[in-house]
Amino acid sequence: MVNDRKSHYLKLRDSWIKRHIKVRSSLWEKHEDALFWIKKNSKNLALSSATGLLLLAHPANASTLIDQIVPTPPTQERGSQTKESLVEKLKNILPSTVQPLTKEQSARIEEVLSDTFHLKARVELEGITLNRNYGIIGAEQHLMRYPGDNMKTHFVSADDSKYYSSGMAPGRGAWGYFTSSGNNMSPKDILREKYYIAVQSFLSPSWNDDPNKIYQFLKYRKMLVVNPENGESIVAIIGDAGPAKWTGKHLGGSPEVMAHLKRQDGAAKGPVLYYFIDDPDDIIPIGPITLN
pLDDT in tens, the chain (292 residues): 545 554 554 555 555 545 544 544 455 455 555 555 454 454 444 433 444 444 444 444 444 444 443 444 445 666 668 999 999 999 999 999 999 999 999 999 999 999 999 999 999 999 999 999 999 999 999 999 999 999 999 998 888 889 999 999 999 999 999 999 999 999 999 999 999 999 999 999 999 999 999 999 999 999 999 999 999 999 999 999 999 999 999 999 999 999 999 976 555 689 999 999 999 999 999 999 998 6
CATH of the domain at 286: 2.40.40.10
Report the C-alpha gap between 132 and 120 in whole angstroms: 18
Q: Strand, helix or coil at 66?
A: helix
Q: Do both 16 and 135 map to the same domain?
A: no
Alpha helices in the chain (DSSP H): 2-40, 50-57, 62-69, 83-91, 103-117, 187-194, 211-218, 255-260
Same domain, 141 and 257: yes
Domain boundary among 74, 102, 122: 74
Q: 199 with 83, same domain?
A: yes
Query: How far, in Å, CA of 198 to CA of 171, rounded?
Result: 14
Q: What size, in residues, is the chain? A: 292
Total number of domains constituting the chain: 2
Picking from 55, 74, 93, the residue at the C-terminal end of a domain is 74
Do 22 and 67 share a structural domain?
Answer: yes
Q: Tell me: do 175 and 33 sit in the same domain.
A: no
Cα(183)–Cα(274) distance, integer angstroms: 33
Bridge partners (DSSP) listed for residue 89: none
Burial of 41 (0-12, 13-18, 19+ CB in 10 A): exposed
- Beta-bridged to residue 135, according to DSSP, are 272
- Classify strands 222-226 and 269-277 as parallel, antiparallel or unpaired: antiparallel
Q: Are 41 and 147 part of one and the same domain?
A: no
The model scores a pTM over 0.95 = no
Residues 60 and 138 in one domain: no
CB atoms within 10 A of CB 26: 13
Query: Domain check: are 118 and 219 in the same one?
Result: yes
* Residues 234 and 99 occupy one common structural domain: yes
> 3-class SS at 168?
strand
Single out the residue in 20, 53, 74 at which a domain terminates.
74
CB distance 284 to 130 below 8 Å? no
Same domain, 63 and 84: no
**Domain around 95:** 77-290
Q: What is the DSSP string of 231-279?
A: --EEEEEEEEE---GGGS--EEE-HHHHHHTT--SSS-EEEEEEEEE--
Q: Do 93 and 49 share a domain, yes or no?
A: no
Whether the CB-CB separation of 208 and 188 falls below 8 Å is answered with no
Q: Are residues 180 and 61 in the same domain?
A: no
